[in-house]
């Protein structure tokens, strides 16, 4: 019975997300609100995102806080994001630290970017590493770029490969750059195509360059 209930919840939330994606806001709001009130924290997260998109920022903030207080670490990432959008870096960092500490990989990556921006590479690297270990592809890319800057090219390539394998267009783009530098043009083209298909500017740029040269 419990498994059937979980399956039902997953189906309804998935349906609400699809409605949201196709801008069927009334149906999406109904689904997210229903499950948020029933205590489903992902329903609350999606409801908060919908409120934020519609410009109801205080309502969104209250929903994210409720989800965070009830144990959803990703809610702290969205709270941090809102603070960052409002140019409140100290408050943003506070929420990102809470989220990262409780396992939200997006929050770890966001923290790493803040520390890197403020000239704290050691801290930044630690947060990117934490995010990458939690299967966050963007963190692996950021960590790879730092390793590349430090001259650790084999480690950088390993991290870009991990990110690419996790469906990161950026990871595939940087992996293509490394393969091109190693004169592995077939592999480079493969990764540039994957990256460009995913919307990565680096991949698209190098595809055009290679086409121009006829390589």
Backbone dihedral angles phi then psi of residue 166, each to the nearest 5 degrees: -95, 20
The pTM score is 0.82
Q: Quick one: how far is CA 170 from the chain centroid?
A: 12
pLDDT digits (tens, 9 = 90+) for 58-111: 999 999 999 999 999 999 999 999 999 999 999 999 999 999 999 999 999 999
Q: Which residues, including other chains, have CB under 8 Å from residue 2's CB and lie 6 or more apart?
A: none
At 182, is the secondary structure helix, strand, or coil? coil
Domains of the chain and CATH, by start: 33-134 (1.25.40.10), 137-215 (1.25.40.10)
User: For residue 22, is pLDDT > 90?
Assistant: no
Nearest C-alpha neighbor of 41 from the set 63, 19, 11 = 63
Pick the more confident residue, 21 or 69.
Answer: 69
Q: Are 100 and 111 in contact (CB under 8 A)?
A: yes
How many angstroms separate the CA atoms of 152 and 157, rounded? 9
Percent share of the chain, pLDDT over 70: 86
Nearest Cα neighbor of 25 from 63, 52, 57, 59 is 52
Torsion from C-alpha of 121, 122, 124, 125, nearest 10 degrees = 110
Residue with token string 């770890």: 108
Give the CA distances from residue 63 to residues 11, 36, 53, 95, 105, in Å, rounded to whole numbers and listed in that order.
22, 9, 13, 14, 20
pLDDT, residue 42, reads 86
pLDDT tens for each residue of 166-197: 999 999 999 999 999 999 999 999 999 999 99
């Amino acid at each position: 019975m419990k498994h059937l209930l979980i399956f039902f919840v997953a189906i309804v939330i998935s349906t609400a997300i699809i409605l949201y994606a196709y801008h069927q806001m009334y149906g999406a709001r109904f689904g997210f609100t229903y499950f948020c009130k029933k205590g489903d924290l992902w329903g609350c997260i999606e409801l908060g995102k919908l409120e934020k998109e519609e410009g109801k920022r205080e309502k969104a903030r209250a929903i994210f806080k409720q989800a965070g207080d009830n144990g959803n670490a990703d809610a702290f990432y969205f709270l941090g994001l809102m603070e960052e959008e409002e140019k409140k870096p100290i408050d943003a960092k506070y929420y990102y630290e809470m989220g990262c500490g409780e396992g939200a990989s997006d929050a770890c990556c966001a923290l790493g970017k803040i520390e890197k921006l403020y000239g704290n590479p050691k801290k930044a690297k630690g947060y990117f590493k934490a995010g990458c270990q939690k299967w966050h592809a963007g963190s692996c890319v950021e960590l790879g770029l730092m390793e590349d800057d430090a001259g650790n090219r084999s480690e950088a390539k390993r991290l870009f490969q991990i990110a690419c394998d996790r469906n990161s267009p950026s990871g595939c783009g940087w992996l293509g750059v490394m393969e091109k530098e190693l004169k592995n043009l077939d592999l480079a083209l493969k990764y540039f195509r994957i990256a460009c298909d995913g919307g990565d500017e680096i991949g698209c740029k190098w595809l055009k360059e290679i086409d121009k040269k006829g390589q």
